[in-house]
C-alpha cells in the first residue's frame, strides 16, 4: 500500500502551471502613465454601459439573474443568434476554463499553438490534461501543424483568432480546413477576443461554423473593444450539447448584475464600437509604420496591439527597452513567457500615448547603439 501524503496535494498538473502574470498595471510616483500592456481600449467604456452600472448599484443586495437572460437576449439580437446557445461568463477566461473542465479528462491531450494565448495552457493543466503545442509558421497558427498534432487522445483544440500576443490571424478558409480535418469528437474552441477589430474580408469570427457543426465553440469578450475589462464579462456561442454541459458546471451566479446590465448596454451601442474600430483603423497602421521607420520589425496585426521585435535574440534589448520605457511612464508588455524574449507587445493607445511611445523608443534606439 502506498503511503498517503501528509497534507492535501493538488491533482497532477496543477503544480506544473506557471501562474499567469498580468501586464504591469502601474508605475508608482508618476501622475501620467501610458498603460499599453493589456490591450485595454483607450476610449473607456460606452457611456450607456457606465449608466447601466450606476443604475445597478442601488440593488447590490439582490442575486443576479443566474441565466443572464437580458444580456444573452441583447447579444443574440445584435448578432442574429439563438439566445439559448449563448453562455455568459466572468470574462472569457472563465469560459475557456469551463470548456477545458468539461471536455478534458486527466491524461487527455489538448492542442494550442506555439505563441498562443497562455490561458489555454493553464486551463489544460488545471484539468490534468496534457498540453500539446503545435508549431507556428511566421508567428501564425499552422493548420497542418495542428492537424499533425492530433492523436487518439486529443479532446480539444484552442485557437485564438486573431492571436494574442502575435496579432496574426487565420483566414476563414483555413479555419474551415482545420475543422474539416478534426475528428468529430474533438472540440474546436475559436477565441475571437479581437474579432471586432479585424478589417480583413477573408476573416470570420466563426459564428456560422458554430451554427452548422456539433464541435465548434466561439468565445468573445467585453474586455477589449467594449472597454469593460474591470467587470469581467465574456460569452460563448456553441452547440446545444456544449451549452448544456457548461451550464451544468458553471457557478449558478457566475456573472454579476452590474456586468449583465453593462454588457447589454454595450453590445447595443454600435456607434461606440464603430468609433473604437475607426480609432484603431487610424492608429494601428500609424504605429506600425512609425516603429518600422525606427528600424524595428513589427508583426502585421489584425488586433488592437502590435508585436515589436528587437534585433538580438537573447532578449536583452527588449528588456532594456522595457525598462527605458517604464522609466518614462510607458508600460508595454514583456512576452518572454510566450517564447518571444526579444519582443514587446504594445497596445494601440490614444494619440498622445502612441506618439509618446514612438518618441521614447526613438530615444532608446539613439542612446543604446
Ligand atoms: C484579452 C483576451 C481574452 C479576454 O479575456 P477576458 O477574460 O474576457 O478578459 C481572451 N482571449 C484572448 C486571446 C485575449 O487576448
92 CA: nearest ligand 1 atom: 8
Residues 6+ apart with CB under 8 A from 271: none
Which of 23, 41, 88, 93 maximizes ligand 1 atoms within 8 Å of its Cβ, making it the mutation to test the pocket? Answer: 93
From CA 171, how far away is CA 66, in angstroms rounded? Answer: 36
pTM for the model: 0.96
Average pLDDT, the chain: 95
Distance 347 CA to ligand 1 centre (A): 14
Which of 168, 221, 266 maximizes ligand 1 atoms within 8 Å of its Cβ, making it the mutation to test the pocket? Answer: 221
Nearest-Å Rg of the Cα atoms of the chain is: 21
Distance 362 CA to ligand 1 centre (A): 30
Q: What nine digits make up the cell of 40?
A: 485595454
Decide if 119 contacts 127 (C-beta within 8 A). no
Q: What nine digits make up the cell of 151?
A: 492523436
Q: Which sequence spans correspond to the domains of the chain?
A: 14-44+271-366, 47-269
Residue 190 has what pLDDT?
98
Of all protein residues, the one whose alpha carbon is nearest to atom 6 of ligand 1 is 91
Residues 6+ apart with CB under 8 A from 239: 85, 210, 213, 214, 215, 216, 217
Interval 67-81: pLDDT, tens: 999 999 999 999 999
Interval 2-32: pLDDT, tens: 789 899 999 888 899 988 887 776 666 676 8
**Cα distances (angstroms) measured from residue 305 to each of 96, 149, 285:** 22, 29, 10
Residue 311 has what pLDDT?
85
What is the DSSP secondary structure assignment for residue 5, as one 8-state letter? P
Interval 207-218: pLDDT, tens: 999 999 999 999
160 CA: nearest ligand 1 atom: 13
Given CA atoms 246, 249, 252, 254 in this order, what sign does their dihedral have?
negative
As a whole number, mean pLDDT of residues 84-93 equals 98
Distance 92 CA to ligand 1 centre (A): 6
pLDDT of residue 360 exceeding 70, the answer is yes
Burial class for 253, CB neighbours closer than 10 Å (0-12, 13-18, 19+): middle
Of all protein residues, the one whose alpha carbon is nearest to atom 10 of ligand 1 is 193
Nearest CA to 267 out of 46, 57, 11 is that of 46
Q: 236 phi and psi, to 5 degrees? A: -130, 155
Distance 101 CA to ligand 1 centre (A): 18
From CA 143, how far away is CA 145, in angstroms rounded? Answer: 5
Greatest CA separation for the chain: 68
Distance 366 CA to ligand 1 centre (A): 35
What is the DSSP secondary structure assignment for residue 137, as one 8-state letter? B
Interval 235-286: pLDDT, tens: 999 999 999 999 999 999 999 999 999 999 999 999 999 999 999 999 999 9
As a whole number, mean pLDDT of residues 83-108 equals 98
Q: How many C-beta atoms lie closer than 10 Å to residue 77's C-beta?
A: 13
Distance of CA 139 to the CA centre of its chain: 16
Residue 51 has what pLDDT?
98
Q: What nine digits make up the cell of 281?
A: 483603423
CATH 3.90.1150.10 fits 14-44+271-366, yes or no: yes
With cell 491533482, the residue in question is 11
Which of 191, 226, 233, 302 maximizes ligand 1 atoms within 8 Å of its Cβ, making it the mutation to test the pocket? Answer: 191
Q: How many C-beta atoms lie closer than 10 Å to residue 347's C-beta?
A: 26
Decide if 360 contacts 324 (C-beta within 8 A). yes
Residues with CB under 6 A from ligand 1: 39, 91-93, 117, 160, 164, 191, 193, 221, 223-224, 229, 234
Q: How many C-beta atoms lie closer than 10 Å to residue 29's C-beta?
A: 6
pLDDT of residue 368 exceeding 70, the answer is no
Q: Which range, of 8-12, 47-51, 289-293, 295-299, averages the lowest pLDDT?
A: 8-12
Residue 313 has what pLDDT?
65
CATH 3.40.640.10 fits 47-269, yes or no: yes
Distance 332 CA to ligand 1 centre (A): 17
221 CA: nearest ligand 1 atom: 8
Residue 23 has what pLDDT?
77
Which of 39, 88, 112, 164 maximizes ligand 1 atoms within 8 Å of its Cβ, making it the mutation to test the pocket? Answer: 164
191 CA: nearest ligand 1 atom: 11
Percent of the chain with pLDDT over 70: 97
Half-sphere exposure of 95 (CA within 13 A, CB side): 29
As a whole number, mean pLDDT of residues 299-312 equals 95
Interval 222-247: pLDDT, tens: 999 999 999 999 999 999 999 999 99
Give me the helix-helix angle, 351-367 and 316-327, nearest 10°. 120
Nearest CA to 146 out of 134, 158, 154, 138 is that of 134
Distance of CA 273 to the CA centre of its chain: 18
With cell 456539433, the residue in question is 214
Nearest CA to 219 out of 232, 240, 236 is that of 236
Q: How is 260-328 classified by DSSP, letter by letter?
A: HHHHHHHHH-HHHHHHHHHHHHHHHHHHHHHHHHTT-EEE--SSSEEEEE-S-SSSHHHHHHHHHHHHT
Amino acid at each position: 500500500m502506498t503511503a498517503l501524503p501528509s497534507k492535501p496535494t493538488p491533482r497532477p498538473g496543477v503544480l506544473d502551471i506557471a501562474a499567469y502574470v498580468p501586464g504591469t498595471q502601474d508605475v508608482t510616483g508618476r501622475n501620467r502613465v501610458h498603460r499599453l500592456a493589456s490591450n485595454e481600449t483607450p476610449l473607456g467604456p460606452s457611456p450607456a454601459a457606465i449608466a447601466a452600472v450606476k443604475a445597478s448599484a442601488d440593488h447590490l443586495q439582490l442575486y443576479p439573474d443566474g441565466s443572464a437572460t437580458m444580456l444573452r437576449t441583447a447579444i443574440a439580437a445584435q448578432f442574429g443568434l439563438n439566445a439559448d446557445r449563448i453562455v455568459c461568463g466572468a470574462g472569457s477566461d472563465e469560459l475557456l476554463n469551463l470548456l477545458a473542465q468539461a471536455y478534458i479528462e486527466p491524461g487527455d491531450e489538448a492542442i494550442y499553438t506555439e505563441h498562443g494565448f497562455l490561458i489555454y495552457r493553464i486551463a489544460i493543466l488545471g484539468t490534468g490534461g496534457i498540453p500539446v503545442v503545435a508549431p507556428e509558421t511566421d508567428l501564425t497558427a499552422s493548420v497542418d501543424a495542428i492537424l499533425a498534432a492530433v492523436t487518439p487522445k486529443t479532446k480539444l483544440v484552442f485557437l485564438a483568432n486573431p492571436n494574442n500576443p502575435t496579432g496574426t490571424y487565420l483566414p476563414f478558409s483555413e479555419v474551415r480546413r482545420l475543422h474539416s480535418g478534426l475528428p468529430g469528437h474533438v472540440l474546436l474552441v475559436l477565441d475571437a477576443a479581437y474579432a471586432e477589430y479585424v478589417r480583413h474580408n477573408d476573416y470570420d469570427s466563426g459564428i456560422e461554423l458554430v451554427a452548422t457543426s456539433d464541435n465548434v465553440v466561439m468565445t468573445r469578450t467585453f474586455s477589449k473593444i467594449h472597454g469593460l475589462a474591470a467587470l469581467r464579462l465574456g460569452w460563448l456561442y456553441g452547440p446545444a450539447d456544449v451549452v448544456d454541459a457548461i451550464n451544468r458546471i458553471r457557478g449558478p451566479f457566475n456573472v454579476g448584475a452590474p456586468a449583465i446590465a453593462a454588457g447589454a448596454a454595450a453590445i447595443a451601442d454600435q456607434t461606440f464600437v464603430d468609433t473604437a474600430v475607426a480609432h484603431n483603423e487610424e492608429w494601428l497602421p500609424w504605429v506600425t509604420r512609425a516603429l518600422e521607420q525606427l528600424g524595428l520589425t513589427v508583426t502585421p496585426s489584425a488586433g488592437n496591439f502590435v508585436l515589436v521585435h528587437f534585433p538580438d535574440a537573447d532578449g536583452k534589448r527588449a528588456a532594456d527597452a522595457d525598462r527605458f520605457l517604464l522609466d518614462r511612464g510607458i508600460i508595454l508588455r514583456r512576452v518572454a513567457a510566450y517564447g518571444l524574449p526579444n519582443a514587446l507587445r504594445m497596445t494601440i493607445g490614444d494619440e498622445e500615448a502612441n506618439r509618446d511611445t514612438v518618441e521614447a523608443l526613438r530615444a532608446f534606439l539613439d542612446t543604446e547603439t
